Amino acid sequence: MRNIDRVDQGQFATPLTQPYLAEALGLTADHLNRVVRQFSKNGIFELGRGQVKVFDLAALTEIAGFDPSYLTSVCRSPAIGALQFGLSIYLCARVDPC
């Protein structure tokens, strides 16, 4: 999101709600909520009210196994960024099932 100028001081808007994100990722809303709360408690990120606030990008990157080398400046869609964020949460939920 930073590469496409969609981040303002570690936060960005997202149309994804927790129930929608849980459904899209094949998780229960309760499980996703537990994962999001754990991330918030650990100071990694918060998700709520249409905003994602990332506090520790390095930790989130490591937990998700994210490799930014495949990103290019060609991608300009906020939907793609939201999907990438959702995928990160999904991967984290699979690694650390709370």
- Please tell me which of 11-20, 38-47, 82-91 the model is most confident about, judged by mean pLDDT: 38-47
What proportion of the chain, given as a percentage, has pLDDT over 90? 19
Distance CA 78, CA 52 (A): 13
- Mean pLDDT of all residues belonging to the chain: 76
What are the structure tokens assigned to 82, written together? 């939201």
Task: Check pLDDT > 80 for residue 43.
Answer: yes
pLDDT 10s digits, 55-91 = 998 888 888 888 777 665 555 555 556 666 766 776 6
- In CATH, what class is 2-95? mainly alpha
Q: pLDDT tier at 4 (50, 70, 90 boundaries)?
A: very low
Q: Where are the domains of the chain?
A: 2-95
Residue 44, pLDDT > 80, answer yes
Question: Among residues 49, 62, 57, which one has the least CA distance to residue 16?
Answer: 49
**pTM, whole model, 2 decimals?**
0.61
